[in-house]
């Protein structure tokens, strides 16, 4: 078999899982119920956030929070301060693609 197969979980509970971490990319899968979020942090690579369920509320650097719905792909530049939350009733589910792999980025 030439291809590699990766799986991810489905949940109604908070879930953060690393699916791929190889020489090319890091791929994370996240599920955030209402009134949960990620700790404030800085992007450690070029980040693409693919929203597949719910609405994401995100604040970048010191800008006011913005809301993005299912079907949206966000591109966040390297070294951007991020605050990611689910402030809505529906569960927020999204994938995070980091390319190149953060281990290859200059700090």
Residue 44 has which token pair? 């450690």
pLDDT at 106 over 70: yes
**Mean predicted confidence (pLDDT) in 2-29:** 96
How do the domains of the chain map onto residue ranges? 16-104
The structure tokens listed for 43 are: 């992007």
> Of 31, 33, 34, 50, which Cα lies nearest the Cα of 98?
50
Cα distances from 102 to residues 9, 10, 90, in angstroms, run 23, 26, 31
d(CA 1, CA 41): 38
Rounded to two decimals, the pTM is 0.94
CATH H-level, domain 16-104: superfamily? Jelly Rolls (2.60.120.10)
The pLDDT-based confidence of 107 (bands split at 50, 70, 90) is low
pLDDT (0 to 100) of residue 104: 85
Give the model's confidence band at 105: pLDDT under 50 very low, under 70 low, under 90 confident, else very high.
confident
């Amino acid at each position: 078999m030439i291809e590699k197969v990766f799986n991810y979980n489905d949940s109604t509970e908070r879930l953060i899982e690393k699916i791929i971490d190889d020489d090319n990319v890091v791929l994370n899968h996240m599920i955030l119920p209402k009134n949960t979020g990620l700790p404030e942090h800085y992007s450690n690579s070029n980040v693409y956030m693919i929203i597949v369920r719910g609405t994401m509320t995100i604040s970048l650097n010191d800008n006011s929070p913005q809301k993005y719905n299912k079907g949206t792909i966000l591109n966040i530049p390297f070294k951007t301060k991020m605050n990611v939350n689910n402030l809505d009733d529906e569960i927020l589910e999204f994938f995070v693609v980091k390319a190149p792999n953060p281990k290859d980025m200059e700090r």
